[in-house]
Amino acid sequence: MKRTSLFLLFALLIMQFLDISDISAEELPLPEFHSEVTLQSEMYFGDDDTISGYLVPDNKFVIRHAVIEAVGKLGNYIEYDMEIGSATCVGAGNQILLMEAGLFIKPLDFLKAGIMKGHIMRGFELHDECVHLITAEKPRFSFTFSPCHPTGLVIETDYDFTDAMGISAQFAYLDGATGTFDDEHDINLGLTFRTPIEGLSFGGFYTDWQQDFEFDGEPDNGLRTGFGFDMNKFDAHLRGEYYLGKGFYSNYENVSSKDLEMNAFYIEGAYTVKTGSNILPYVQPYVMYQSWDKASNVDGDYVYSYLTTGISFGLGEYDAKLRIEYETPTSAPDDAPEEARKLVIRIQGGI
């Protein structure tokens, strides 16, 4: 059966479950609405490198993330969500876009299937919303390994064996890099295991990637995979993950794009100090180290690394915070330009 037919069949199943012709307007359930706004200033410190063409980014104020989300149910078996707004990770941050959308059949409490546009389970950091992380941004290699907000067919399960132990899994058949599944695809399997040790989880993912890396009209096969851990206990947070992949656009003479390999990792930690104050309920210092080998199967050194330090201040009774973060490059290839250091001052909140 062709892929298009599979999607049509799934759409018909949703329509069958979505029969609400006998429900009056007064009985239709209302969705829950959530809103969130994140604004920041970005300041850069460094010098232009006219030989390599590297230019220090301009200092600026940015609407990093501003969205309104609706989440709801239609009867006992249908769930939906939709998020509209603006974010710099999917554009310039000055356009109103459909950020996320999903419609799911949920025949069991721990199982649902549907079509969605949104975050895909590729470990911990890549799966989370950007502005909900410990650091201000995901690691620099994130979007090279994982596109932001792809669209496709998704099947999810989330099952608890005990109060502490459980498993979450997601299978996704997604559009490829150009927004279709004609001669390209992004097939991902993600898994998270919540251990009997409260607060400790392990996770990983595998992506079968097909794309025309060589621009010759023929699809090429690639892969993305990663694994790591996440620990939240006693107001401490520790997370680390390792990624590797094959099939990236290459400008190296001896390795083609379909054969180019990369690997990367990060490790981060934070500690939350609760103050007991209603105005300033907590203070959270944090640190992250990341390393990215942009050509792991090419002779020579192509490793870039960065150190991020910061502190977040809780504001008021809701989930609002002020963040001050500083990122500095710590290593780069000998012939690479020296990148600028970055200071972010961010305020965010939602309800």
pLDDT in tens, 56-69: 999 999 999 999 99
Proportion of the chain above pLDDT 90, given as a percent: 73
Q: Once rounded to an integer, what is the mean pLDDT over residues 42-57?
A: 92
pLDDT confidence bin for 147, thresholds 50/70/90: confident
pLDDT of 345 reads: 98
Is the per-residue pLDDT at 24 higher than 80?
Answer: no
State the pTM of this model: 0.88
pLDDT in tens, 283-304: 999 999 999 999 999 999 999 9
pLDDT of 63 reads: 93
Cα gap 351→349, rounded to integer Å: 7
CATH of domain 3-350: 2.40.160.10
pLDDT in tens, 30-39: 899 999 999 9
pLDDT of 19 reads: 55
Tell how strand 32-45 and strand 60-74 pair up: antiparallel
Neighbours of 193 (CB within 10 A): 15
Tell me how many degrees the CA angle 51-343-39 measures, rounded to the nearest 5. 120
Tokens of 195: 């251990």
Cβ(79)–Cβ(112) under 8 Å?
A: yes
Is the per-residue pLDDT at 143 higher than 80?
Answer: yes
DSSP state of 90: G
Q: Is 161 exposed, middle or buried (0-12, 13-18, 19+ CB in 10 A)?
A: exposed
pLDDT confidence bin for 52, thresholds 50/70/90: confident
Residue with the larger pLDDT of the pair 124 and 51: 124
84-90 contact pairs (CB < 8 A, 24+):
87/130, 88/62, 88/63, 88/64, 89/65, 89/130, 89/143, 89/148, 90/148, 90/149
Find the Cα–Cα–Cα–Cα dihedral 157, 102, 203, 172, rounded to 10°.
80
pLDDT confidence bin for 5, thresholds 50/70/90: low
pLDDT confidence bin for 218, thresholds 50/70/90: confident
User: Which range (24-33, 123-132, 149-158, 268-277) has the least confidence?
Assistant: 24-33
Q: Once rounded to an integer, what is the mean pLDDT over residues 68-85?
A: 93
pLDDT of 11 reads: 53
| Partners of 314 in the β-ladder | 321
Sign of CA dihedral 141, 145, 151, 155: negative
**Helix (H) or strand (E) run with residue 169 in it:** strand 166-174
pLDDT of 1 reads: 45
pLDDT of 226 reads: 97
For the chain, give every domain's residue range: 3-350
